Structure 1
Amino acid sequence: MSSEEPDVTFIFPSKNEEKTIAEVIQKAQKAAQQLGLTYEIIVPDNSTDATPQIATSLGAKVVTPDKHGYGYAYIYALRHARGKYIVMADADGTYDLEEAPKLLQPLLQDKADIVLGTRLKGKIMPGAMPWLHRYIGNPLLTFILNKFYGTNVSDAHTGFRAAKREAIQKLNLNTPGMEFASELLAKAAYLNLRITEVPITYHPRREGTQSKLNSLRDGWRHLKYLLILAPKFLYYIPGIAMLLMGIVLMLAAVLRANLGYSPGIHSAILGSMLTILGANLAGLGLLADLHLAKMIGRPTSRITKLLMKMSVEQAFILAAVLVVSGGAYTLYLFTKWVESGYRYLPLRGENALALALTVLGAQAAATAMAAHLLRRE
């Protein structure tokens, strides 16, 4: 290992991998020598077996993260990394580090910023990947990533990756668990980093070793993170759909329109609930989009840009119009009720419309203040 700043840093998170860590390190050394690159090997380790002693004896730098978690192990190790290029792989022997040159070549040729070793376009050895991961979990989460973030990858959750260190530093990675893989790609897509894949071979774990992956828990963590970073799909699309549907139902009830049935008070109540919930979701989408733009430096969506063209003063005027309209309509309905001798109360949706307008106005004012606060921070 060179004492000067190396060309490449290999990072192998480990926990009780004494049966495989030596082979992984030796293959990484061979790969670097094959390319003529200087290197360092960092092993973030929380083992209770001989893993750290074996790694140290082979020249690796062993660091002990102060917190547990797959993602946190990488984040902690990256603080110590000095290489221009970073290679990340599991220490369990399922990835063949002799294939590392395949991942490094696109970086060395400046054809990519991040390279993934895809198992699904490579070779998966018998018994290496459970059918649930191979045919359901990984493809589904990869599809969601591609759909939400505009990526075009086949294996989003591979544990074998390489990247330019300067690219990694731009991402401000902070997730502690398995969702680290989703965070890396989602943020890279937002920042328009170049992502490419190369086929690799995936091997089964050695007999007597144990996987740390929990399919349901870690799958949910991936999905949750992909949703959190996608306000368009989590908030805007369902919110705007509910808003429009709610308005149609309320107006149909008030105007006695024919929707294939005669909308009444129940349609109006449902419409008002959908309208308020839809507006609330759209407002949350606006705030989330502005926050993400500040947090990771990505551009805001077209919907957010359109909404933010409205100043606080203009938003307050709109809010005032909605509140006054709703209040005036409520007063009118109250007057009609009094004139009827407290016998007739409109039940075709007028009450629901009046109250919905009032709530929407209050929401618009509050959201506008919060949005412009985020924009000014």
Structure 2
Amino acid sequence: MRIAVLLPCYNEELTIEKVIRDFRRELPEATIYVYDNNSRDKTAEIARNAGAVVRRESRQGKGNVVRSMFRDIDADIYVMADGDDTYPAEFVHDLMKPVIDEEADMTIGDRHSDGSYESENKRPFHNFGNHFVKGLINRLFRSDLRDIMTGYRVFNRRFAKTMPVKSEGFEIETEMTLHALDKRFRILEIPIQYRDRPPGSESKLNTVKDGIRVLKTVFWIFKDYKPLSFFSFIALIFFVLGLLVGVPVVTEFFQTGLIAKMPSAILAVGLMVLATNSLTCGFILDTIVRNHRDQYELRQNEYRE
């Protein structure tokens, strides 16, 4: 069985050697790939000296790195972690076992079950953002996942080779989870311990910038994957606004037989037309999305490991 350990890296010279050494200890038969994403330090050199296969991805962003990894690397089992030593390598066997036993297509290293992420992570807004996005996605897909944005994951070949990666940055983890939920891949969460970066190692995350990008990803995927719900909500807004503007006009007409508030009448009609059009778009796009899911399932049936 071919096992590939995938380590996206950007300026991780302080920790990358230890990460490679830890995964080499746990998985001596695996090939460890370090994708250097335009690092300005000695990450690539240290990784190469530590025995990893080093490749370079010139397009900045973790999503771009993962896209290249999935396209370029052939393996049966894919282990994805970070080069910052926040995910202990000793949990990799727990993550791999359900995938090897064909009980899951993707396993997720759950940082929240034991409370280690909240205690180790020194960025409170990240904790809030994780819980907020988790709540949105669980409500949207009627799931019960505990850790949506973890970077410690294991995939089988089917998942890695059939996932269209569209994200460019750190929202890639959210996209993976959403794709798996929408396409009904088997997901299993495995509790792990999380540890914060060692002193001197700086996080590449920007709380506001990356938080906005994740929310944009959730918004667009809500529109793309659940168009009927999305456009029905918009239609409801237009409908309510149309009622608020139009009811006084209709009431006046029944009382006097005249329409004195012509601008309000035109606005009300326009809002109702927008509501109808939005609902119609939702039904049409929902049919297209359902057809796309059917085609994706057929391609899955044709896929061979």
Shift of 1:287: 5.7
Q: Percent identity?
A: 28
Alignment check: 8 A CA contact 1:7 1:83 kept = yes
Alignment check: 8 A CA contact 1:114 1:164 kept = yes
- Matched residue SS, 1:201: coil
Structure 2 counterpart of 1:41: 32
- Matched residue SS, 2:188: strand
Amino acid at match of 2:26: A
Alignment check: 8 A CA contact 1:227 1:233 kept = no
Alignment of 1:169-208 (within 5 A): 169-208=161-200
1:232–1:211 CA distance, 2 compared to 1 (3 A): farther
Alignment check: 8 A CA contact 1:43 1:77 kept = no
Is 2:207 the counterpart of 1:215? yes
Shift of 1:289: 4.2
- Taking the aligned partners of 2:220 and 2:260, their CA distance within structure 1 comes to 37
Alignment of 1:312-323 (within 5 A): none
Match among 290, 298, 302 for residue 293 of structure 2: 298
- Taking the aligned partners of 2:4 and 2:11, their CA distance within structure 1 comes to 22
Shift of 1:168: 2.3
Alignment of 1:1-377 (within 5 A): 6-33=1-28, 38-45=29-36, 46-124=38-116, 126-134=119-127, 136-230=128-222, 231-243=227-239, 246=242, 250=246, 253-254=249-250, 256=252, 265=261, 268-286=265-283, 288-289=285-286, 292=289, 297-298=292-293
Shift of 1:112: 1.0
- Taking the aligned partners of 1:251 and 1:61, their CA distance within structure 2 comes to 69
Shift of 1:224: 1.1
- Matched residue SS, 1:12: strand
Amino acid at match of 1:285: G
1:264–1:166 CA distance, 2 compared to 1 (3 A): farther
Uncovered stretches (5+) of structure 1, i.e. residues with no partner: 1-5, 301-377
Shift of 1:141: 0.5
CA deviation vs aligned residue, 1:292-337 (integer Å, no higher than 9, x gap): 557xx3269xxxxxxxxxxxxxxxxxxxxxxxxxxxxxxxxxxxxx
Uncovered stretches (5+) of structure 2, i.e. residues with no partner: 296-305
CA RMSD of aligned residues (A): 2.7
Alignment check: 8 A CA contact 1:31 1:99 kept = no
- Matched residue SS, 2:113: strand
- Taking the aligned partners of 1:292 and 1:10, their CA distance within structure 2 comes to 34
- Taking the aligned partners of 2:7 and 2:50, their CA distance within structure 1 comes to 13
When Rg is computed on C-alpha atoms for both structures, the one with the higher figure is: 1
- Taking the aligned partners of 1:159 and 1:90, their CA distance within structure 2 comes to 7
- Taking the aligned partners of 2:40 and 2:184, their CA distance within structure 1 comes to 41
Shift of 1:49: 1.6
- Taking the aligned partners of 1:100 and 1:94, their CA distance within structure 2 comes to 13
TM-score (norm: length of structure 1): 0.68
- Matched residue SS, 1:162: strand
- Matched residue SS, 1:196: strand
CA deviation vs aligned residue, 1:218-259 (integer Å, no higher than 9, x gap): 11111111111222443222214533662686366336589x
Amino acid at match of 2:276: A
- Taking the aligned partners of 2:63 and 2:171, their CA distance within structure 1 comes to 7
